[in-house]
Amino acid sequence: MDIERRTGPTVSRSLGLAGVLSVALLTMFLGFAHKSVCLLAGDGFNEMRYRAYCYSDIVPLYRSRGFLDGEIPYIEARNEYPVGTGAVMWVASWFGRGEGEFLLANGVMLYGFGLVTAWLLQRMVGDRALFFAAAPTLGLYAFLNWDLVPVALSTAGLYAFLRGRDAASGAWFGLGAAAKLYPALLAIPAALDRPRTERRRRGWHLLVALGLSLAVLNVPVAIASFERWSEVFRLGSERPPSPGTLWYATCRGLTASPDCGATSAINIASAVSFAGIVALVWWRRGRMDPAFPRWTLGLPILAAFLLVSKVYSPQYSLWLLPWFALVLPNLRLFLVFEAADLAVFLAEFSYLGAGRGGGLPVWLLGVAVLVRAVVLLALIVAFTRGRTAAPEGIGMPHAQVRVSTIPSSSS
């Protein structure tokens, strides 16, 4: 039985590489044009960013993180992002003098990372790459922040892994983790997948390469300016829940405080919940299908992290898009996730802009967040029940696909 009949409705399989890249180009072009609305407002940026939903972190950080004055991140100016992301920001500042040029320079680089992601996905799963390339959230979030950097690098890590190039895979995962921590989480099940194959020792190659690539980027900066380098970790532990999370909605409802007055307790509860969900999914899926590819646990790992994390910035949803193409090409689930995520984005930005007049009430944001949480849980359940279709390895484009024996009904 073919993939479509086992995983629910999927996208067309006729576009090919040129078509997938063209769709990705168009999606991101529309997203960049939308972000430009805020910039064209000039001094009205602060007013437009919520009303027109065109906010981007790239614009205000140009001045506040020293790029206007040509300062080097971490060495001469504070930067709360990981070193890999800071490096991309710094390179963009060489070509962009002024907020508009800085946005354009970053936009060109992010375009490249987005196209690389689409290309790698097309090589792995053909036109299923449209789950990434045609996603409305790709256009909306591509230029909101720099998350397309770790998305592209982690996808490269998976591509190398499926080709049996474990050291290269670890290096790509490490570079991705230097830009955002989550690719390191994806590398763990990939490494643990190797003991089931003839490449039993290759998992260590992957993990060592991961550690080395992380060290190459981070150690020199940490030695030069530990205080500024470590800011990202301090901010992560001290930051209260963001409006797009279950923690925020719960705390606001129970105590009228966004962090319930117990940020440290939320940190612990979030970590324990995440580990528990991942362990349960791994155990349950392993009982149903002992031979399932462990690397595919990346999907429930990301979904569980987003479900219980105290911070869910809108662009984090980009992390999941490649996994719809790689592991769970179910069009119904994908569309429901996109709709729920867009609802949270609109409600959150409307709520954040309420102080400038208008805005939706906070309870609508809570409802949207709850709906998205249910959808994330549905993704985890669908994976646990074996409704997946994942490539086993890549020797040529359009690799052989491993399909679960459990048929998918509408989710």
pLDDT values of the chain reduced to their tens digit, one per residue, 411 residues: 333 334 444 444 468 999 999 999 999 999 999 888 877 765 556 666 667 788 889 988 998 999 988 899 999 999 999 999 999 999 999 997 888 899 999 999 999 999 999 999 999 999 999 999 999 999 999 999 999 999 999 999 999 999 999 999 999 999 999 999 999 999 999 999 887 766 667 778 999 999 999 999 999 999 999 999 999 999 888 899 999 999 998 888 888 777 787 889 999 999 999 999 999 999 999 999 988 999 999 999 999 999 999 999 999 999 999 999 999 999 999 999 999 999 999 998 888 776 555 567 778 889 999 999 999 999 999 999 987 777 766 543 334 344 332 233 333
pTM, two decimal places: 0.89
Q: Are 133 and 27 in contact (CB under 8 A)?
A: yes
Q: Provide the residue ranges of all domains of the chain, joining segments of one domain with +.
A: 3-403
Q: What is the reported pLDDT for 399?
A: 41
Q: What is the reported pLDDT for 258?
A: 76
Alpha-carbon distance of 217 to 142, in angstroms, equals 24
Dihedral sign, Cα of residue 335, residue 336, residue 339, residue 345? negative
Q: What is the reported pLDDT for 46?
A: 60
Angle at 18 between CA 12 and CA 19, to 5 degrees: 30
Q: Which residues pair with 73 in a beta bridge?
A: 77
